[in-house]
Amino acid sequence: MTAAQPLLRRKLRRRGVSEPGYLQNVEERFGHYEGTTEPGRLWLHAVSLGETRAAAILMQALRELRPDLRFLLTHGTATGREQGRALLREGDAQAWLPWDTPAAVRRFLAHFRPSAGILIETEVWPNLAALCAEQGVPLALANARLSEKSLSRARKLPGLARRAYGSLRAVWAQTETDARRLAEAGATVHGVYGNLKFDATPDEAQLRLGREWRATAPAPVVMFASSREGEEADFLAALRAHPGVQWLLVPRHPQRFDEVAAQVAQAGFTVSRRSTWIDAPAPAEVWIGDSLGEMPLYYALADVALLGGSFAPLGGQNLIEAAACGCPVVMGPHTFNFGDAAELALEAGAARRVADMPAGVAAAVDFVHDVGGRLQASRAGEEFAARHRGAAVKTANAVMALLT
């Protein structure tokens, strides 16, 4: 890890070309900070956008229990840090998680002196975990999940994995399957609390605006939600066979907005981007959702959503938000990052699974024309999301116990 630091600097410079956020406060990545800071903040690490949204839910629950609690938020991606900035209140702080070398981690802990650390979902680094244990900083893994693929990697380095997971003071898993895998990796699981993302409440103003725009749409709206690189080409290739549909494409990563818009135009489709809309979506064959933090608006605007990351072997994206917004989901075969949630959504009737992208587009089009089936799936999604809430309160109480 120490030898790889120059490679990290090069990677950050390269990423910073498309995402300037990666060029901000670079020295924090190596444990160098300006000024002084007060000790005692509760440290939450949310590596990227999805984890930051989960952290927001947990922070709200913790503030209800202890309004005076001050937080330190750390991140690994520019989108996570940008989203996290909106969660800060007076007395809170934000920084990059240090690169996992002993020296950088020691400087990080010495500078911030957190009361405890809560890692969100998957981010367990060996030096970070070992040094927190050595210095008496309680470190827990919340909303914890571990895919079979990640467990297979851990099996190849059992000594390293068991040392890292074994250094954690507590682990609160999303599902029994995750708990079993985490235990095999070396963690001591203290509870299975469910997924924090079920406790998210969709923004009512966004839902209302999305429904207003849907009422004026020229045709049924099919959305490709959180699409990933390599999937858009297959999606665009399948569209010509299904006229009479308004297509909405929302890329997962904001640095790809321009690239995806150009790709759609090169495929011969007219394009309208959310960033140019004023009172309503402008007419075009494909709408591009090029904004952050507006997924409830897009789900309300859509009749059906294709699940990004599931049509290529990328593990899928979170479908809980779609269900909570009442938007039926069509997913591909690859949902290993959210396996239990995907299976539960299928069982509830909130989602359908298909073999590939052409089948997915065809299934989505069938869905929008099956009004009764679509409304039933929409209600099933809302009920499914409501039924699995409660992880935030359980996790917040466990964190408070960790602090005492």
Residues marked as catalytic: 51
Q: d(Cα 80, Cα 93) in Å, to the nearest integer?
A: 14
310-317 LR contacts (CB < 8 Å, sep 24+): 310/334, 310/335, 311/231, 311/234, 311/235, 311/356, 311/357, 311/360, 312/228, 312/230, 312/231, 314/228, 315/147, 315/149, 316/342, 317/50, 317/225, 317/226, 317/252
Instruction: Tell me which residue of 53, 48, 168 sits closest to 97, measured CA to CA.
Output: 48
How is residue 366 written in tokens? 């069938």
Answer yes or no: are the C-beta atoms of 382 and 326 closer than 8 Å.
Answer: yes
Structure-derived torsion over alpha carbons of residues 195, 200, 202, 205, reported in degrees to the nearest 10 = -170
Is 403 in contact with 169 (CB distance < 8 Å)?
no
- Label the pairing between strands 170-173 and 139-144: parallel
Structure tokens at 396: 């917040």
